[in-house]
Amino acid sequence: METSRSSRTVIHQAYALANDIWPSYAHRFSRHDFTLPQLFACLVVREMLQLSYRKCEDFLRDAREWLADIGMSRPPDHNTLWRAFGVLIAERHVRSMLELMSEHFQKAR
């Protein structure tokens, strides 16, 4: 399996993977601020760097060009990340975001 230490590469790959798995929004009445694939990509970086939700929010605030690469104009709030984690995990019944990416790359190989 090919691995990367670049968080920017990982956020791109996670976003591409999530676009194949999840619909854009969890519910038709959601605010549509962020898509599920965008939130998934942020959560993968959070898990990769072993950050808390608040630290992830701060990290992403400093990496605006990364967010622009995946179509985000601002970082999600830490509460948004926490809620998205629950939605994504419950929907796919996976133990971790990185585990899901690992499974995807193993199948692709």
pLDDT of 9-46, one tens digit each? Answer: 888 888 888 777 766 666 666 666 788 889 999 998 99
Domain assignment of residue 1, yes or no = no
What is the domain count for the chain?
1
| Token couple for 96 | 């971790």
- The model carries a pTM of 0.74
Domain assignment of residue 58, yes or no = yes
First to last CA, the chain: 7
Domain range for residue 55?
Answer: 7-108
What b/e sequence results for 63-90 when a residue is b if at least 16 CB atoms lie within 10 Å of its CB, and e otherwise? beebbeebebeebbebebbeebbebbee
Q: What whole-number distance in Å separates Cα of residue 97 and Cα of residue 19?
A: 14
| Token couple for 78 | 């830490």
Domain assignment of residue 2, yes or no = no
pLDDT digits (tens, 9 = 90+) for 31-84: 667 888 899 999 989 988 999 999 999 999 999 998 999 999 999 999 999 998
